[in-house]
């Protein structure tokens, strides 16, 4: 089973990386950029009997830091 974990910064958490990307895009001449937020994509290849609860626990305990980040689990196959 392939699972994608999308980790993103919570609203209100400053994202210096996103801001730098924003400035770089504008510097390249792209217009109309309102905001940029950078996140992280983690792909897991798991045995079929790994439970949803276990995947959620992996996210909560290590893959995301819930003080600053949200996560979303997407099952690909």
Partner 1 sequence: MGFTAAVITFPGSNCDRDMAVAIEEITGGTVHRVWHGDSDLPDGLDFIGLPGGFSYGDYLRSGAMAARSQIMQAIVAQAARGVAVLGVCNGFQVLTEAGLLPGALLRNGGQRFVCRDVALTVGTSQSLFTNGYFKNQRITIPVAHHDGNFHADAATLDRLEGEDRVAFRYAEPVNGSQRDIAGVLNDAGNVLGMMPHPERMIEPAHGGSDGRVLFESVLRAVGVAA
Name the site residues for partner 1 (rule: CB under 8 A): 13-14, 16-17, 19-20, 61-63, 65, 67-68
CB of 19 to partner 1, least distance (A): 8
Closest to partner 1 by CB, 21 vs 48, is: 21
Q: How far apart are CA 18 and CA 2, in angstroms?
A: 28
CB of 16 to partner 1, least distance (A): 5
Q: How far apart are CA 48 and CA 65, in angstroms?
A: 26
Q: Which residues contact 77 (CB under 8 A, 6 or more apart)?
A: 1, 2
* Unique residue bearing structure tokens 């009997």: 49
Closest to partner 1 by CB, 17 vs 74, is: 17
């Amino acid at each position: 089973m392939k699972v994608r974990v999308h980790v993103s910064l919570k609203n209100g958490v400053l994202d210096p990386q996103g801001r730098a990307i924003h400035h770089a895009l504008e510097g390249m001449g792209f217009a109309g950029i309102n905001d940029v937020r950078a996140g992280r994509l983690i792909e897991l290849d798991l045995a079929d009997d790994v439970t949803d609860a276990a995947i959620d626990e992996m996210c909560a305990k290590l893959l995301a830091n819930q003080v600053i980040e949200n996560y979303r689990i997407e099952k690909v196959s």
